[in-house]
Amino acid sequence: MLLSNKTSTLSEISDIVKHRWWYRRWWWPILLFILCFGSQCTRQQNYPGPLTPEQALESFQLSPEFRIELFAAEPHVIDPVDIAFDEFGNTYVAEMLDYPYKPDKGKARSRIRYLQDTDQDGRVDFSVIFQDSLSEVTSIYPWKGGLLVCSAPQIKYLKDLDGDHKADSEEVLFTGFFENNSEAQITNLKFNVDNWIYGSNHGNPGSVKFIRKPEIEPVSVQGTDFRFRLDLGLFEPAAGSTQFGQAIDDWGNRFSTQNTIHLSQIVIPWEYLKGDSVNQPKAPVQNISDHDLEMFQLTPAPYWRAERTRRRQERYDTEMMDRIEYAEDHFTGCSGGTIYSANLFPESYHGSVFTGEVAGNLVHRDILVTGQGPLFVAKRHQSESDKEFLASTDSWFRPANLAVAPDGSLLIMDMYRQHIETPLSIPEDLKQDMDFYRGDDMGRIYRIVPKNGTTTPGSQPFPGERVTGDLVELLAHENRWWRLTAQRLLIERQDQSVLPQLKDMLINHPTPIARLHALYALESLAGLNENIISGVLEDSQPQLRVHAIRLAENYPNLVSKLNDMINDQSPLVAFQLALSLSQLESSENQSALTHLQTRFGDDPWFIRAINNE
């Protein structure tokens, strides 16, 4: 052959090529095709291609009590990472097309989309871009007819003014958040029963300025998450360093998700910890899983992860390090922790925590069990001792987030990408075969319902269509979305005429959770007083007494009553007493704290609470 002739010179080869027109015209295109096709074959061999939405549905293995349906898919949704339902039931989705690289200046690709099911067949068939050209949107939440939007380094407020489902106004509310890692930026905006909106910051450094309050000094959030109240103009740090997944239960207890640690509890709120910018207290967070790291995936480790793991383990062994690197079957990409608080699923599922695992292509379920102290324990359900609630054989399935819809179904936001991993963590040679944007034209949202369940909201009209008095009734709804949405609207409307109705609910309603929402609805309307709080301190529900203790901190005359509660049989109540009494200045508090330390001195969290550590 010509090129194997060792006596040929480059000039001779060039001369031959010039005179062989067939060689010049056909061989080089063929050679280029072979080279490109061979490279593509290698890539396809290492990394499988995508499935259609219908094929993807066939890839799931789900708990037998449920069925999974397609709620939305491309082209109506792309790379979804969060979903929000406003007070009228309108659906909005945050699409993070920028992931995993920081967008070039002026080329931000993330956006927010309005979705609609026009023919009421259960699947989205119409969509409108609410706002585009946003940088790395990670979370959205409804507020006063618009949306709060996390787009580091800012939180924005976007609003549609003319009813076309497109944003017409934009206001920057907060700025100064960390913005240099798309997997660890501000996210998870959640409205809690205590009237605060909480967000995740992963403990990253930031000096946050509240634009509406220019007179207030910037607030440091290094080592913390954050929370704010727009009705009162407040912004402050919040305990935790949550990455992507902030689960809040019916009683306002917060839980966090962080890659390998799929479920931690925020044990002590930030306001009870002593610290400053130099001497920060130890993070008041506890991993509560009793089955740490173990998961049951159906997909093999991707080529890059298996090879990286092999290299790392080889180095550990060479250096005689007592360490094992796992490529699969261990949590590494947990996200979107969400607590089920609705009435469509069987009662045994109420309070379960569902966490996406984007690396393992699955959704994990935890059962929360109360212990002897302030901590919960997260356990597998016995029916899932060797399998997951939901797992897929499709390696593109990326359950980045979850949400409970107004109809009680569980929604799963599937980014549907070939690769989910920060490129910084992958060796350069392995990245040569990887297209980190492959799949940025796809995305799915799935709906999980009981096999015999319906998916139509049973409480229409929606909260936004109701008069204020009817909102009070919704505070007793079995689905937490309805309760929280009604409470939020009571804050926004500030209608004092419902105060008698709220007070009656607080005193007489048979459901403790309704009494809790009534308590904080009263707080938001400045309807609380010393007598009301004193009555709630005697409520039969321990968690309600916990909240009453927190609110009693604002009433000095109630300190004596708090001291009288130190023999309360509930460890949760005793723990809150330790937190509150250690903050209040009263000569009788020290004796009460000493008594609590005697009762619970073996619990390190009680010691921290008593000593403000």
Q: Is 306 exposed, middle or buried (0-12, 13-18, 19+ CB in 10 A)?
A: middle
Shared domain check, 185 and 80? yes
Output the domain CATH number for residue 522: 1.25.10.10
Mean pLDDT for all residues in the chain: 91
Shared domain check, 438 and 577? no
Q: Rounded to an integer, what distance in angstroms lies between the CA atom of residue 374 and that of residue 516?
A: 19
How confident is the model at residue 63, as a pLDDT? 94
Q: How many CB atoms lie within 10 A of CB 329?
A: 12
* Residue in 200, 194, 323 with CA at minimum distance from that of residue 264: 200
CA–CA distance from 282 to each of 223, 267, 445 (Å)?
9, 12, 38
pLDDT in tens, 291-345: 988 999 999 999 999 999 999 999 999 999 999 989 999 999 999 999 999 999 9
Provide the percentage of residues in the chain whose pLDDT is more than 90. 82
Q: Rounded to an integer, what distance in angstroms lies between the CA atom of residue 595 and that of residue 591?
A: 6
Shared domain check, 421 and 475? no
Beta strand pairing call for 110-116 and 219-220: unpaired
pLDDT in tens, 430-486: 999 999 999 999 999 999 999 987 665 556 899 999 999 999 999 999 999 999 999
Containing structural domain, residue 520: 464-611
CB 400 within 8 A of CB 360: no
Shared domain check, 120 and 40? no
Final residue before a domain boundary, out of 31, 46, 61 = 46
Write out the DSSP string of 326-349: -SSSB-SSEEEEEE--SSSS-GGG
Shared domain check, 233 and 369? yes
Please report which confidence band the pLDDT of residue 10 belongs to, taking 50, 70 and 90 as the band edges.
very low
Shared domain check, 66 and 202? yes
Q: Rounded to an integer, what distance in angstroms lies between the CA atom of residue 443 and that of residue 222?
A: 33
Shared domain check, 485 and 427? no
